[in-house]
Chains A and B, each alone.
Chain A
Amino acid sequence: MPRAAKGTSRPLQLRYLAHARSGDKGNTANVGLIALRPEWYDLLRREVTVARVARHFRGMVSRVERFELPNLHALNFLLHDALDGGGTISLKTDAQGKVYSTALLRMEIPVPTTLARRRASKPA
């Protein structure tokens, strides 16, 4: 769980702040993470860092890249070597990375306590 200053912020799962869709390109999965409200995009951009996402998926992917789409209030993540060879080679249930999207939504980031309280019951 990310460190957060006590009292002012609390960890909150991304599912309460964003929706997502994922897909594949060869052995790479992509996850597009879209803020549920435009005003939360900056929070996502600040807190959903490459380092944090790589830590979240440790042992599952080799490398993480991040791209910003402020126009869609979205971040795009490339998760390399995530699919056991990908496409037809993969033995995984999720050979095409269709549900890496929701796996990312499990991640917690520190958010202001008031926001955490307000959102805790309202997933995407």
Chain B
Amino acid sequence: MSDIPKWKEDFPIEWDADNYVTRREFTKFLVMISGATVAGNGFFVLQRLRKQREPYSKVRIAAVADVGAGGVQLFRYPTENDPALLIRLSDGRFVAYTQRCTHLSCPVQFVAGQNRLECPCHNGAFDAATGEVLEGPPPRGLPRITLAVEDGSIFATGVQGS
């Protein structure tokens, strides 16, 4: 008696032909997705070009006298939807960072005594002097807002990656 089940005798399948068609179609699909991936990379190039065309504006955010050592002031930059923190470190220097945590965008808070910014959502922490990650889940440092001090006023002039 044959080992082959009856249904296979009745409906024989040519597996090579079957494999040929499925693999060929899958390969075509992969090439299509490959094109979509290039388009995705193109999106990042367009975003970069757009940023280069639209330089950041210079916005007055506070007077030097308004923020004492260890003090902090909330402002919005570059748009009204981007909260940011202006911090005066204990050595008198001004620094400013985007307030959104790089983990899941919770607002970070300045802890003056420890000279660091903490995210209450998942206990991430950043160095207030550099914006670099000290601990927790954030994958990268806080984007830094560049500042200029002129005539007793502090101006935001741009945003840099950490």
**A interacts with B:** no
